[in-house]
């Protein structure tokens, strides 16, 4: 039987570790041409070699990009389009959850780094790829949110605090950016209706993270993450949901939905369904990414 993804191209950001790395491996195993987008050349090349060895596939490649920087994203898209004429699955997996931040850090483009990486990066990347995604239809976009948003039921987009001007904590900044990804998903699905391009969002649950990823944080936080490992699912298990949303025939026409770690459709917070905020977030994101 021919592999289900043979001849199809899947791009995964943040593919050198964690869920992204496992998803890249699993897509390679079912025949996809996998484009791994990573910030670090060293870590990216190590993950690339491992995935090629384990999957037995040579159709895996590495592209470098810092998703907090818009010029880096524009370069990535330009380079991709020079070498590929289609893109079937785009997974916006990369995220910044920097436990060490106590104050806002701005990128060289003047945007708070967590919001830049987790929302504006995927917003710009996705929009710059829409021409290729439409050409490749049926195609799929998958955005990533967090189950931790359950603890922020009243959270909405704080347009007067996007750079942490009024208040800041890394937790709040992270969940704020993930709420933005949910609302971006809903608005993009509305805009793409009838194009053959679907966009859905996955609510990632507590996952056993690679402990080397938190080796730089205070010891008490390392201890917390060691404890959390006992209650989390493995990155391999979580990656299976990425595969499901990226390949399941029954989801070909499903768009604008929110899925849990088991691939079951769930509801996001009540405030995330405010269509006026979807539109305002889109307009602000366009301005901040210089797309208007």
Q: Any alpha helices (H) in 193-274, and if so which ranges?
A: 219-228, 235-247
22 Cβ neighbours under 8 A, 6+ residues apart? 235, 236, 238, 239
Residue 290 CB coordination number (10 Å)? 10
Name the 3-class secondary structure at 90.
strand
8-state DSSP, 135: H
Active site residue 174: yes
> Pairing state of beta strands 265-266 and 258-259?
antiparallel
Q: In DSSP terms, which residues pair with 266 in a beta bridge?
A: 258
d(CA 25, CA 23): 5
Whether residue 104 contacts residue 84, with contact meaning beta carbons closer than 8 Å, is answered with no
Among 33, 142, 15, residue whose Cα is nearest residue 85: 33
Which two three-digit tokens encode residue 37? 């987008």
Please identify which of the residues 99, 152, 174, 244 carries the catalytic annotation.
174
List residues with catalytic annotation: 174
């Amino acid at each position: 039987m021919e592999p289900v993804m043979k001849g199809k191209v899947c791009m995964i950001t943040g593919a050198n570790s964690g869920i992204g790395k496992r998803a890249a491996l699993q897509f390679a195993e079912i025949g996809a041409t996998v484009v791994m987008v990573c910030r670090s050349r060293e870590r990216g090349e190590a993950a690339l070699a491992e995935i090629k060895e384990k999957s037995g596939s040579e159709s895996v490649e590495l592209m470098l990009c810092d998703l907090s920087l818009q010029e880096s994203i524009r370069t990535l898209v330009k380079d991709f389009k020079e070498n590929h004429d289609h893109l079937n699955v785009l997974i916006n997996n990369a995220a910044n959850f920097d436990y060490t931040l106590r104050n806002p850090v701005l990128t060289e483009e003047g945007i708070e780094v967590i919001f830049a990486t987790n929302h504006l990066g995927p917003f710009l990347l996705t929009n710059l790829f829409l021409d290729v995604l439409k050409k490749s239809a049926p195609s799929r976009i998958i955005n990533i949110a967090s189950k931790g948003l359950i603890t922020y039921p009243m959270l909405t987009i704080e347009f007067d605090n996007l750079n942490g001007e009024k208040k800041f904590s890394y937790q709040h900044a992270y969940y704020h950016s993930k709420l933005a990804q949910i609302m971006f998903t809903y608005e993009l699905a509305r805009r793409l209706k009838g194009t053959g391009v679907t966009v859905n969002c996955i609510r990632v649950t507590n996952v056993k993270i690679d402990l080397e990823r938190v080796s730089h944080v205070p010891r008490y936080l390392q201890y917390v993450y060691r404890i959390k490992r006992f209650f989390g699912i493995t990155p391999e298990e979580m990656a299976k949901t990425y595969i499901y949303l990226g390949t399941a025939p029954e989801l070909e026409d499903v768009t604008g939905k929110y899925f849990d770690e088991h691939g079951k459709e769930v509801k996001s917070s009540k405030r995330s369904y405010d269509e006026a905020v979807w539109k305002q977030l889109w307009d602000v994101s366009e301005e901040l990414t210089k797309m208007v």
